[in-house]
A and B are shown apart, each in its own frame.
Chain A
Amino acid sequence: MGGQCPPTLSLLSLRPLRLCGLLYMTEQKTLPSKLVRNIREKSIELILFLAAFSSVATTVAILFILIKESLAFFTQISLWDFLTDTQWTPLFGDAHYGILPLLTGTLMTSMVALTVAIPMGTIAAIYLSEFASNTLREIVKPCLELLAAIPTVVYGYFALLFVSPLLQKVFPELSYFNMLSAGLVMGIMIIPFISSISEDAMRSVPLGLREGSYAMGATRLQTALKVVFPAGISGISAAYILATSRAVGETMIVAVAAGLQPKIVWHPFQQGATITAYIVQVSLGDLPHGTIEYQTIFAAGLTLVLMTLVLNIIGHFLAKHYREIY
């Protein structure tokens, strides 16, 4: 998603640009020749290119290492076993390498999180874009966005030490580590990802469409739900996809509060390890390079990257599809 890339890109690219601007101003008096100007233009272009290229290069390098180590892993463990074995016990004597336990853990926590974040984020976005006054929006929006700025480890302990005990009062069968509270808290954390982007999408819906709806006698709520929301759906679905990627990749909250025991999970009351939680867990110990245990990290990581990649591709096509029709 574009959302994460631009800040770094602009930081990288703006600074050289400003420096070159200064250079240009001081040199202009003495060297106004066309050749010098051309060289300057070209070098700025090169710097900009390198800035953009560095992010591409990093992505490629990460993918390269992931794939290389994963390939080593799959020479020993068949892809079939990886996808169908129901146990994940690479560190035990009786080692099994089935990704399903971690995958179900990841999907379960993500699902709980999205069940919270999508409705809450969408409602917040509709409220901010269609109902709130400008002053109220100026106050509420930064507060909402602060939710995403809290360190995730804080959320993790909030889930473990506050939300879980609270939920246990209602559901005594809830285990100490559980995916429900981790997912709920993660859902709160990703609300601003959805509300911010969805609000932007809805606010950029042309005024003429809103007026067309009001002119037919529609109320504000009808206009928001029947016209503005569908008109902004491409941006809104992009927000949902981004939030899903964020949920799938979230690490600290689940590592702290959801548990670390990889078992296939069916119910959010259970404890369960996610792909990310497994990766931090084993990375904390020191595994010798080149061992199969070491390579499991990369196989799990590649699975995660592929999931996010698929989500991003879906998001890209959704956005493109809606841009075409609207």
Chain B
Amino acid sequence: MAEELSDGVIFKPKAEVKNLNFYYGSVQALKNINLTVPEKQVTALIGPSGCGKTTLLRCFNRMHDLYPGNRYEGQILLERINILAPKVDPIEVRMRISMVFQKPNPFPKSIYENVAYGLRVRGENKRSLLDGKVEEALRGAALWNEVKDRLNDLALNLSGGQQQRLCIARALVVDPEIVLFDEPTSALDPIATASIEELMSDLKDKVTILIVTHSMQQAARFSDYTAFMYLGELLEFNKTETMFAKPSHKMTEDYISGRTG
């Protein structure tokens, strides 16, 4: 199974969004989205504020199900299963697709328990197994060396950048198939941002990444593919170099060159 873009780029798809519409009550926030997310690559969602990037991202782990009145139409296929189908349990979906939020949101628990959370929620309480997984996830999030001597300290005492890396470790510990990032560096200083970006480039060998970013430079720096959204529609999807070098859509060009958004 492979997907081919218009100019002959071939990749292996991980998830496929098909004719997706999304409504907040009666307000339509996404209009007929079609998108194929390549496996083990970084795909960036860009576009002006309010165009529906977060809304699209949160469809992937059914976060919209938490609030009444939200409605999906269409499909997101993950290995041929439509994860938006009403009979699919959102919890099952979230077990396979992790999420890192815009604002670091560590739980009021120890560093260790924050990372172990996803495993405990899945009923895993064996200490030896947890220890190994927690260490692996913290290493994966480039945080192990900074916290290995104080795993039992409260996570809220960490700096903002460390908290966000902790949230990344928390998302990684359950071996997710896809990790969703919603502007993960927008609340961080430039140094913390750089370390998170570096971390994400390392991660893509292991996991499929879908990231919302408002920073063109960030998308250009480390994403492989970019999707450009505008007013709830997905206008363009391509390899990042191609998109930034010769955007095929006038709106994309304007946005990338800083004339809109």
Chain B binds chain A: yes
- Which A residues fall within an 8 A CB radius of B? 206, 208-219, 222, 226-227, 230-231, 233, 325-326
Which residues B101-124 have CB closer than 8 A to chain A? 101, 103, 105-109, 117-118, 120-122
Is B98's CB under 8 angstroms from A216's CB?
A: yes
Is A212's CB under 8 angstroms from B167's CB?
A: yes
With a cutoff of 8 Å between Cβ atoms, the chain A residues found around residue B99 in the complex are: 215
Question: Once the chains are docked, how many angstroms separate the CA of A216 from the CA of B97?
Answer: 8
Q: Kindly state whether residue B209 has any CB partner on chain A within 8 Å.
A: no
Closest to B109 in A: A230
A-B contact pairs, 6 of them (CB 8 A): A210-B66, A211-B66, A212-B105, A216-B117, A218-B117, A226-B117
Is A212's CB under 8 angstroms from B101's CB?
A: yes
Question: A214-B63, A217-B121, A217-B174 are known contacts. Are A231 and B108 too (CB-CB below 8 A)?
Answer: yes
Q: Kindly state whether residue B194 has any CB partner on chain A within 8 Å.
A: no
Is A214's CB under 8 angstroms from B122's CB?
A: no
Question: A208-B103, A226-B117, A325-B156 are known contacts. Are A214 and B109 too (CB-CB below 8 A)?
Answer: no
Q: Kindly state whether residue B188 has any CB partner on chain A within 8 Å.
A: no
Question: A216-B117, A216-B170, A326-B156 are known contacts. Are A231 and B107 too (CB-CB below 8 A)?
Answer: yes
With a cutoff of 8 Å between Cβ atoms, the chain A residues found around residue B91 in the complex are: 217-219
Is A215's CB under 8 angstroms from B94's CB?
A: yes
User: Which of A208, A222, A230, A233 has a CB less than 8 Å from the CB of B105?
Assistant: A208
Question: A217-B95, A217-B118 are known contacts. Are A211 and B154 too (CB-CB below 8 A)?
Answer: no
With a cutoff of 8 Å between Cβ atoms, the chain A residues found around residue B156 in the complex are: 325-326
With a cutoff of 8 Å between Cβ atoms, the chain B residues found around residue A213 in the complex are: 107, 117, 121
Is B105's CB under 8 angstroms from A211's CB?
A: yes
Question: A215-B98, A217-B95, A325-B154 are known contacts. Are A227 and B107 too (CB-CB below 8 A)?
Answer: yes
Question: Once the chains are docked, how many angstroms separate the CA of A219 from the CA of B91?
Answer: 7
Q: Kindly state whether residue B213 has any CB partner on chain A within 8 Å.
A: no
Interface string of B130-154 (1 = CB under 8 A from A): 0000000000000000000000001
Given contacts A217-B174, A326-B156, 19 further A-B contacts (CB under 8 A): A209-B105, A209-B108, A211-B63, A212-B101, A213-B107, A214-B94, A215-B94, A216-B94, A216-B118, A216-B121, A216-B171, A217-B122, A218-B91, A219-B91, A226-B107, A226-B117, A226-B120, A227-B107, A325-B156
Q: Kindly state whether residue B61 has any CB partner on chain A within 8 Å.
A: yes
With a cutoff of 8 Å between Cβ atoms, the chain B residues found around residue A326 in the complex are: 108, 156
A198 to chain B, nearest CB (A): 16
Question: Once the chains are docked, how many angstroms separate the CA of A325 from the CA of B108?
Answer: 8
